[in-house]
């Protein structure tokens, strides 16, 4: 704000001498005029001379007391219409106490009443369309003003430092309130912004320390940086969901702000453009309110990749925070002094840069619970050395059968954060074979590397025999991709050769019996012939 004022003062420095064409006595005062249109006989009120603002009335008596600007003025036998007040026409006329402007005037120029510190009242007619930059800058005795409904624009710093101004009526014709328009109006207690205004300029109401409430209409789409900066008396503000942009420090140092009525989303309130955070810090006030409810649990929307510097500084109401995996950068002091936080959850592992100097979470208790993805403890401990309470999430893993009557699943190794390797085995029931896992994989037994919560289901198919084996002590069935030959009693079959043929008579598998059962690998599907010495060949279908 200080920079804004200094820049404004620079704008009013030395300008070229503007020659006046004639002067006229108005009551006890002498006013100076320049002809703006000789054919239509129009003039503007101007200053008598001098290059510097402070010396333009040098060697001339400044107007004082109650001034009534005429709507017409005569010179050389001709009558002219007074249509405007030129820039700095009455600058530093500290003796002026009241001014009446005629309805012939359409514009009040830049700095027209600049530093008229004795001015207590002014009447602006409906003919005025624009009020220029710093038009009433530091009119410190002005207590109230009515802006007519013909005005469409209130210029930058138009009423800045009007420290006695207690109320102002802004008409429905105004569409834009300029930068610093009412800044440092320390006695201003309330203001109603009409539903025609679309933009509230930078520092428009900054340092209005007596302002207690503000209603912003649903025509407003943006609130510029420092708009209500240091409005220490502001206790409530109503912001409609038409607002799509709240800029840097718009409500910084609003120390009495305890309730903010806002119907928009958290994205709109905390940065409006949550996808890239194009502005710097957007919110410094102590409490966040959405739909009249105090926000304590903040979940940054998925898709946000950057949280810029100081974005949530001093949001002391926050108790929990969730940062999605899309975030890759958290700026300096982004959550500084959010000392009410009890938990922070990071949904993603990498990549992520956490700002320092100041540290992104400065002022947050060191023992806050920081929930992090499985296997990222070393990574986060290095990124956030100020924190000492990291809690790794555990892997949720399950592997089950679609139907326990068809088969079961064994988890031979359960994955953990330190050992993410899982080993599972599907065991088919009699007359069934394993077919596939729910993710399409057909390995069995199966080893897999688990990086997150995983759930698998084993599916089985029927293994249909075409011909009964004549020996009741021998069972032949399909399990997985193997034909199983099972002997209830091996006596008489020791060292017998078991051979599997396909329907073309080609030998597919061959093995000698060395125990009570034998697994012979075959193709996943087809018709096979199992031959055991001394027994009738056995035909089996692998589905």
Instruction: Determine the Cα–Cα distance for residues 204 and 517; give it in Å rounded to an integer.
Output: 89
Question: What is the predicted pLDDT for the residue at 163?
Answer: 95
Question: What is the predicted pLDDT for the residue at 524?
Answer: 63
Lowest mean pLDDT among 121-135, 221-235, 353-367: 221-235
Of all residues in the chain, what percent are helix, strand and coil, respectively (each to 5)? 5, 35, 60
CB-based contacts of 349, cutoff 8 Å, min separation 6:
325, 372, 373, 375, 376, 379
pLDDT of residue 270 exceeding 50, the answer is no
Instruction: Determine the Cα–Cα distance for residues 145 and 167; give it in Å rounded to an integer.
Output: 7
Extended strands (E) in 203-302? 213-215, 222-223, 236-239, 245-246, 259-262, 289-290, 293-294, 297-299
Instruction: Determine the Cα–Cα distance for residues 252 and 313; give it in Å rounded to an integer.
Output: 10
Structural contact between residues 145 and 165, judged by C-beta atoms closer than 8 angstroms: yes
Please give the average per-residue pLDDT across 210-232, as a whole number. 84
Q: How confident is the model at residue 55 (pLDDT cuts 50, 70, 90)?
A: low
Question: What is the predicted pLDDT for the residue at 2?
Answer: 41
Q: How confident is the model at residue 251 (pLDDT cuts 50, 70, 90)?
A: confident
Give 447-488 pLDDT, tens digit per residue. 999 877 899 999 988 765 434 445 556 777 777 677 887 775
Q: How confident is the model at residue 41 (pLDDT cuts 50, 70, 90)?
A: very high
pTM score above 0.85: no
What average pLDDT does the chain have?
A: 80
Question: What is the predicted pLDDT for the residue at 518?
Answer: 78
Kind of pairing between the strands at 176-177 and 153-154: parallel
Q: How confident is the model at residue 538 (pLDDT cuts 50, 70, 90)?
A: confident
């Amino acid at each position: 704000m200080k920079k804004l004022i200094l820049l404004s003062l620079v704008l009013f420095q030395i300008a070229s001498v503007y020659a006046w064409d004639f002067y006229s006595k108005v009551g006890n005062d002498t006013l100076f005029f320049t002809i703006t249109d000789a054919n239509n006989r129009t003039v503007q009120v101007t200053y008598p001379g001098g290059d510097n603002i402070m010396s333009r009335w040098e060697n001339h008596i400044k107007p004082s007391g109650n001034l009534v600007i005429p709507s017409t003025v005569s010179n050389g036998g001709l009558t002219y219409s007074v249509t405007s007040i030129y820039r700095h026409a009455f600058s530093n006329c500290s003796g002026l106490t009241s001014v009446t402007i005629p309805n012939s005037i359409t514009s009040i120029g830049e700095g027209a009443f600049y530093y008229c510190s004795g001015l207590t009242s002014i009447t602006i007619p409906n003919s005025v369309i624009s009020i220029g930059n710093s038009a009433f800058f530091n009119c410190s005795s002005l207590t109230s003003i009515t802006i007519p409904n013909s005005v469409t624009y209130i210029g930058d710093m138009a009423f800045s430092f009007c420290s006695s101004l207690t109320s102002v009526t802004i008409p429905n014709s105004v569409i834009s309130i300029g930068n610093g328009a009412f800044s440092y109006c320390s006695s201003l207690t309330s203001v109603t912004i009409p539903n025609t205004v679309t933009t509230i300029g930078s520092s428009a109401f900054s340092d209005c320390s007596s302002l207690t409430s503000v209603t912003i209409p649903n025509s407003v789409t943006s609130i510029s940086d420092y708009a209500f900066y240091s409005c220490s008396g502001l206790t409530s503000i109503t912001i409609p969901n038409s607002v799509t942009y709240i800029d840097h420090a718009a409500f910084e140092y609003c120390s009495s702000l305890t309730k903010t009525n806002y119907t928009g989303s958290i994205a709109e309130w905390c940065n409006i453009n949550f996808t890239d955070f194009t502005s710097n810090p957007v919110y410094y006030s102590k409490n966040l309110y959405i739909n009249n409810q105090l926000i304590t649990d903040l979940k940054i929307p998925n898709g946000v990749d950057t949280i810029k510097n100081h974005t949530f500084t001093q949001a002391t109401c926050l108790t929990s925070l969730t940062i999605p995996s899309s975030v890759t950068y958290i700026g300096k002091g982004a959550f500084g002094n959010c000392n009410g936080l009890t938990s922070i959850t990071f949904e993603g592992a990498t990549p992520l840069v956490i700002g320092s100097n100041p540290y992104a979470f400065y002022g947050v208790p060191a023992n806050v619970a920081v929930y992090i993805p499985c296997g990222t403890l070393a990574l986060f401990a290095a990124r956030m050395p100020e924190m000492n309470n990291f809690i790794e999430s555990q892997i949720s893993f399950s592997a089950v059968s679609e139907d326990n009557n068809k088969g079961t699943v064994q988890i031979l190794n359960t994955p953990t954060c330190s050992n993410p390797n899982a080993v599972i085995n599907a065991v088919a029931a009699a007359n069934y074979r394993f077919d596939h896992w729910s993710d399409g994989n057909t390995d069995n037994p199966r080893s897999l590397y688990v990086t997150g919560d995983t759930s698998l289901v084993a599916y089985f198919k029927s293994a249909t025999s075409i011909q009964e084996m004549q020996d009741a002590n021998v069972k032949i069935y399909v399990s997985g991709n193997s034909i199983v030959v099972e002997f209830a009693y091996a006596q008489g079959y020791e060292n017998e050769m078991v051979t599997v043929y396909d329907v073309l008579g080609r030998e597919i598998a061959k093995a000698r019996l060395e125990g009570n059962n034998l697994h012979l690998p075959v193709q996943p599907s087809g018709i096979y012939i199992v031959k055991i010495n001394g027994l009738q060949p056995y035909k089996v279908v692998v589905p």
